[in-house]
Amino acid sequence: LELLARRRLARGSSVEGRNAAAAMKKKVLLMGRAGSGKTSMRSIIFANYLARDTMRLGATIDVEHSHVRFLGNLVLNLWDCGGQEAFMENYFSSQRDHIFRNVEVLIYVFDIESRETQRDVRDYRSCLEAILQNSPDAHIFVFLHKMDLVPADARDAILHKRETELRQISLPLKITCYGTSIWDETLYKAWSAIVYSLVPNIKTLEQHLRSFADICDADEVVLFERATFLVIAHSSRRQHKDVHRFEKISNIAKQFKLSTSKMQAQFNSMLVRNSSFTAFVDELTSSTYIMVVLSDVGVQPAATRLNIELARSHFEQLIAGAAGAAQQQQQ
């Protein structure tokens, strides 16, 4: 009887594990007109392309599916939808339920330089109507892309104007807007926000990062996803002037990591130290890197490294627990 009970428990655990894994699969819809830059940004973030390498990418035909694993059990089920007119019409008619059902995140990309604004808005409205009908609780992100083509002194004004117009058009749905470009850190800021919205136990993770920052007497602690170097969470104990510092670090660290791989070397950790601060970038878990920044240069690097080493198993368990949190949310 005891053996039978163990077998039943094992089968039950297996089923629960499969259910938890399924609960962590998040459907992300990437939409926008042809040539708006959807596939280029996806390739930079998830396929380790450099911005200059995206020139050789062809047009997306119909829908390209990819599964990207984040934080162990979180899987982004990414649907990159081709933006040619014939495909767009099918999405809103014959494929409507298939495309727009069970969407966790919609990312709609506008080419900021497009001269067909009426057509762009028409397709966007159709997309919102389908989302409202099939996935009313989806998070909606709008990227005003190719901002590098706009003169630097006019970017803020143009972005604000377009964002105000799109918020009005999107009602009653709420949207989050970002101006983006593949040539700078804005792409990492936008995609980090998307990932942040999908991590189920993000508040718990931030709370533990705050405790870790207190233990280390750190100015700031930042958690990065291992493969993409997108920012997952952070804790700051002191004010900083540069509000774009996280995405800049993501961009720089990702490029450095790619350059080491081209030399058949593996990036594990980094230490930057001067008279003002010490910054550590090190592996924390199997799916994350951590950056610890200290302005107290009297703190010995060995002490910070020891704290990171001691925190690894704790954060590994914490991140693994996201699957259980997602399952409870679904129930």
First to last CA, the chain: 31
- Find out whether 218 and 225 touch, Cβ atoms under 8 Å: no
Provide the pLDDT for residue 6: 34
- Find out whether 229 and 257 touch, Cβ atoms under 8 Å: yes
Provide the pLDDT for residue 18: 46
Q: Residue for token digits 């601060």?
A: 277
User: What are the C-alpha distances in Å from 44 to residues 57, 91, 93?
Assistant: 11, 25, 31
Pairing between strand 139-145 and 105-111? parallel
Contacts 24+ apart (CB under 8 A), 274-283: 277/219, 278/304, 280/304, 280/305, 280/308, 281/253, 282/308, 283/226, 283/312
pLDDT surpasses 70 at 10: no
Is residue 268 exposed (0-12), middle (13-18) or buried (19+ Cβ within 10 Å)? Answer: exposed
- Average per-residue pLDDT for the chain: 85
Provide the pLDDT for residue 315: 92
- Cis peptide preceding 136, ω within 30 of 0: no
pLDDT surpasses 80 at 34: yes
Annotate 27-53 with DSSP letters as a single string: EEEEEESTTSSHHHHHHHHHS---GGG
Looking at the DSSP bridge assignments, the partners of residue 222 are 234, 291
- Tokens standing for residue 305: 């490294």
Q: Give 3-state DSSP helix, strand, coil % of the chain, rounded to 5.
A: 50, 25, 25
Cα angle value 10/313/222 (rounded, 5°): 125
Provide the pLDDT for residue 191: 93
pLDDT surpasses 80 at 77: yes
pLDDT surpasses 60 at 11: no
pLDDT, one tens digit per residue, over 102-135 is 999 999 999 999 988 899 999 999 999 999 999 9
Task: Report the range out of 53-67, 132-146, 182-196, 291-305 with the highest average pLDDT.
Answer: 132-146
φ/ψ region of 141 (left if φ > 0, alpha if ψ in -120 to 50, else beta) reads beta
Phi/psi of residue 66, each to 5°?
-145, 145
Looking at the DSSP bridge assignments, the partners of residue 67 are 77
From the centroid of its chain, how far is CA 74?
11
- The SS3 assignment for 263 reads coil
Provide the pLDDT for residue 242: 85
- Give the separation between CA 38 and CA 291, rounded to whole angstroms: 29
